[in-house]
Amino acid sequence: MDLIKLGLKEAADLLKKREISSVELTKACMDRINSRNERLNAFVTITEDKALEMAQRSDKRLKEGNARLIEGVPLGMKDLFCTEGVLTTACSHILDGFVPPYESTVSANLWKAGGVLVGKTNMDEFAMGSSNETSYYGPVRNPWDESRTCGGSSGGSAAAVADYMCMGATGSDTGGSIRQPSAFAGIVGMKPTYGRCSRYGMVAFASSLDQAGAMCRNVEDTALMLRAMSGFDPMDSTSVDMPIENYDQNLDKLTLKGLRIGLPKEYFIKELDPEVKAIVDAAVARFTKEGAEVVEVSLPHTKYAVPVYYIIAPAEATSNLARYDGMRFGLRIEGENLADTYRKSRSKGFGWEVKRRIMIGNYTLSSGYYDAYYTKAQRVRALIAKDFADAFTQCDVIFTPTTPTPAFKLGEKISDPIQMFLNDVFTTGASLAGLPGISVPAGMVGGMPVGIQILGKPFAEQHLLQVAWAHEKMTAFAALDVKAA
């Protein structure tokens, strides 16, 4: 049995039956990480000793018959989730040496369910980027083609999962950072509704948008992982007090007959690669064959989603990043006086993309421009949310491409921020509206995987997972296989 290729659910079941042990499974993942990470750069911290300790504890529980939901399964954790006693940098130089004294709620939930931490995954600095090229620790390479990006900002999680280094990994999605890298890596990635997962202990980028989610190699695993990590948390005032459904248990309880699939006409734009469009069309056709109906819907404010996102996210980032001053966290460059220490620490500690966002955010929040940019952007955000609410009176789910093209080459867009931002055309709208979305593999273009995005009503995670599962069953893309090197 090739242990590293087991899915999360499959591994959890075999562990419960005691056909495999967590220590052997964890060691298999560690071997994979140790042999592949130098090339892919998916992990920035590898927690080998901690992983083996956690695995031993899981094996003890399994032996005693006290196994929890995902007991003994190796997971990667994006480097912006605070992990007690384990370096957490959000891949920024300014968080050099920061070892959190506490655990994020999402990671704590996963450990409470029996997960095993194999390491912290690479990401764009403070989750700002679409290609993982803004990481202080260098870019992630796409396991399908190492000359290409694996997307961002959760690029390390996507590569780690696609390359069989772990059974699942957390991501965070502010404007697309779970869905876009999942599409580029040929895996499943779900961003739940804003408020479904706690933001406590997640290094903040844009607080009204940031949301944690799960990235795995198939839909059932994603459902199981999301179930383990989500839930109400009194430590996050935007966390929603709603019961968690057993997402992985009800995947087959959906009749496709009569399902109304909305296709937003504004999403089928000229920048969309025709081969990517053909993949979305083929996915829709699979559903109509089973009795689903297609409804053309309109999201008229779509063209403002990217500009609105790139006003609101930097504005929030500016204030969230004010806390990094060389006094409390990580890097400090001693200056001649306090102000000089701030200046030197921040100048050295932040990368150029983060500085760009701080400058944009300070500009749009400054007294002369606040109403012209920030207030206006907030108003348009409300219109974007209303577009979705209106569309969902006519359809049950919305299908779109996840990205306009398959994974692009490393270096191709990094010097052109507008080109980079346009990667997010299909993902930022749902983020601004706080809606859940899932990207699932749906085909290949030029040897690279392509994903479709399925969007749903607020808190329709279960429904989205059912639709995504139905799609997986109709295709051969459940386990797109990266040729193991």
**Residue 157 C-beta: closest distance to ligand GLN, Å:** 12
Q: Show the beta-strand stretches assigned E in 382-447.
A: 397-401, 437-445
Identify which of 213, 242, 235, 207 has the alpha carbon closest to the alpha carbon of residue 225. Answer: 213
Residues that bind ligand GLN (CB under 6 A): 127-130, 153, 173-177, 205, 313, 424
- What letters, b where the CB count within 10 A reaches 16 and e where it falls short, cover 206-238? bbbbbbbbbbbbbbbbbbbbbbbbbbebeebee
Which single residue is written with the structure tokens 């695995």? 55
- Comparison of 320 and 475: residue with beta carbon closer to ligand GLN: 320
**Residue 307 C-beta: closest distance to ligand GLN, Å:** 13
For the beta carbon of residue 239, count every other beta carbon within 10 angstroms.
20
- Comparison of 203 and 448: residue with beta carbon closer to ligand GLN: 203
Vertex 33: Cα angle to 31 and 34 (nearest 5)? 65
Among the listed residues 177, 182, 198, 239, the single catalytic one is: 177
**Residue 411 C-beta: closest distance to ligand GLN, Å:** 17
411: left (phi over 0), alpha (psi -120 to 50) or beta: left
Q: Which residue is nearest to ligand GLN (CB)?
A: 177
Among the listed residues 22, 135, 153, 154, the single catalytic one is: 153
- Comparison of 58 and 431: residue with beta carbon closer to ligand GLN: 431
386 is catalytic: no
182 is catalytic: no
- Comparison of 128 and 228: residue with beta carbon closer to ligand GLN: 128
**Residue 130 C-beta: closest distance to ligand GLN, Å:** 4
Among the listed residues 78, 120, 191, 413, the single catalytic one is: 78
The H or E element that residue 296 is part of is strand 293-297
Contact 435, 388 (CB under 8 A): yes
Identify which of 78, 81, 70, 76 has the alpha carbon closest to the alpha carbon of residue 51. Answer: 76
Under 8 Å CB-to-CB from 373, ≥6 apart: which residues?
311, 363, 364
Distance CA 391, CA 21 (A): 48
The H or E element that residue 107 is part of is helix 105-112
- Comparison of 179 and 217: residue with beta carbon closer to ligand GLN: 179
The full length of the chain comes to 485
**Residue 205 C-beta: closest distance to ligand GLN, Å:** 6
153 is catalytic: yes
**Residue 318 C-beta: closest distance to ligand GLN, Å:** 13
**Residue 134 C-beta: closest distance to ligand GLN, Å:** 8
- Comparison of 330 and 361: residue with beta carbon closer to ligand GLN: 361
Q: Is 401 helix (H, G, I), strand (E, B) or coil?
A: strand
- Comparison of 155 and 349: residue with beta carbon closer to ligand GLN: 155
Phi, psi of 218 (to 5 degrees): -150, 170
Active site residues: 78, 153, 177
